[in-house]
Amino acid sequence: MYDLLEGLNEEQRAVAAFDGGPLRVLAGAGTGKTTALSSRVARIVADGIPAERVLLLTFTRRAARQMVERSHARLARAGHRSGRVSGGTFHSVAHRTLRQHAARLGLPEGFSVLDPADAADVMDVVRDEVLKDLPNGRRIPRKSTLLDIYSRAVDTGTPVGEVVIAVAPWASDLVEPIGAVCKAYIARKRRLGLLDFDDLLLHWRQALRDDLVGRSLAGMYDHVLVDEYQDVNSLQVELLQLLRKHDPRITVVGDDAQAIYSFRASDPRHILEFESDFPDATTLQLTVNYRSTQNILNTANAIADDAPSGFSTRLRAPSVDPSTTPQLLRCADEDHQSTAV
């Protein structure tokens, strides 16, 4: 009989087999977090939770698809037949939810979703309309900057004025007009029956807060798992808290040293403060790195130790390899760099 956890190291097995409330997994680079998380999904389903009642949230559709496929492959090898795990990005899951409950939420039945390029075009139109009376030659934020300001305000719950000062301090005297642009942008979308990506999350939150719909939506899932948790923003954390309001079973995996989505208002502080957001949480670590030799990892560990904040996750190689110690080379130009490499 195939062991559902076959091929996992001790740390990965601990993650897959954990049976309790909120779980934070600190997974260093190259430590097999995808293997551990997909194995955890498989173990949860094998223990009797219907696959469709397991929600897996990722930041890319490809990652979600890969994780779900790996989970089902492991289940199949162990002889388990199951339904399909509910997986996707925050936005795709929100989109599916809103389609099902559009009427209850006051949304047009056939609402359209703007991709970032289309959202920027709508912002461009309202910008020209609202700011047309500014003096000629006055520098004004580009449509992409305005969209970033609006998105950060939504994702972090921060007033537009504060975001302007943080993102575009040169436009601090335009706080009021920029606020008017954002209001006009919201009104234009509403009038045309349009939602942008931020709206998907806002309306999902509205649905989860709804007395009638909220408990039903949260009750759809017995377990929620989140990949790349270091890249979540405040709005996404609130969504997770609402989803888990009546059930503590949530697993998040991340590495504060790998935070990359700052343009989405993500904040690695959320993985650092997971225990505050989800009380009685347990923390497990993945530290065995399968990509590098120990000498390289020693250098990486030393650099990570100098980080102003974060966890001290010491990466280690699975075996001793007397490899060359990394060197720091200063190159005068690209040709010199190519020669050195």
Is residue 91 domain-shared with residue 236, that is, in the same domain? yes
The predicted structure's pLDDT at residue 262? 55
Is residue 105 one of the residues assigned to a domain? no
Chain CA centroid to CA 279, Å: 20
Are residues 246 and 264 located together in one domain of the fold?
yes
**What does R_g of the chain's alpha carbons equal in angstroms?**
23
| Inside any domain, residue 35 | yes
Q: Which residues are within 8 A (CB) of 309 and not within 5 positions of it... i.e. 6 or more apart?
A: 256, 272
Examine the domain organization and report whether 214 and 276 are in the same domain: yes
169 and 32 in a single domain? The answer is no
Regarding whether 147 and 293 lie in a shared domain, the answer is no
Range of the domain at 144: 112-192
User: Would you state the pLDDT for residue 311?
Assistant: 65
Say which residue the tokens 């699975």 belong to: 318
Residue 181 sits in the same domain as residue 226 = no
The DSSP call for residue 323 is: P
220 and 294: one domain? Answer: yes
pLDDT in tens, the chain (341 residues): 457 888 999 999 999 999 999 999 999 888 999 999 999 999 999 999 999 999 999 988 898 889 889 888 888 887 787 788 898 999 999 999 999 989 888 898 889 999 999 999 999 999 999 998 888 778 899 999 999 999 999 999 999 999 999 989 999 999 999 999 999 999 999 999 999 999 999 999 999 999 888 989 999 999 999 999 999 999 999 999 999 999 999 999 998 776 655 556 667 889 999 999 999 999 999 999 888 777 787 777 777 776 655 666 788 788 766 667 777 788 888 887 888 77
Reference 12, options 28, 30, 35; nearest CA is 35
Distance CA 93, CA 88 (A): 6
Task: Answer yes or no: do 217 and 255 share one domain.
Answer: yes
CA dist., res. 199 & res. 197, Å (int):
5
Residue 35 burial (C-beta neighbours within 10 Å; 0-12, 13-18, 19+): buried
Prediction pTM value = 0.87
Identify the pLDDT of residue 1.
42
Task: Give a yes or no: residue 239 inside a domain.
Answer: yes
Specify if 320 maps to a domain.
no
Boundary of a domain, candidates 192, 220, 242: 192
Instruction: Tell me, yes or no, whether 237 lies in a domain.
Output: yes
Per-residue pLDDT at 310: 61
CATH number, domain containing residue 237: 3.40.50.300
Same domain for 149 and 241, yes or no, is no
Do 246 and 181 belong together in one domain?
no
Q: Is residue 71 part of a domain?
A: yes
> Is residue 322 situated within a structural domain?
no
**Whether residues 204 and 188 fall in one domain:** no
Does residue 67 sit in the same domain as residue 121? no
Final residue of a domain: which of 192, 219, 239? 192
Number of domains in the chain: 2
Domain end marker among 173, 192, 211: 192
Tell me if 275 is assigned to some domain. Answer: yes
- 3-state SS, residue 156: helix
Please spell the DSSP secondary structure of 122-140, one letter per residue: HHHHHHHHHTTTSPTT---
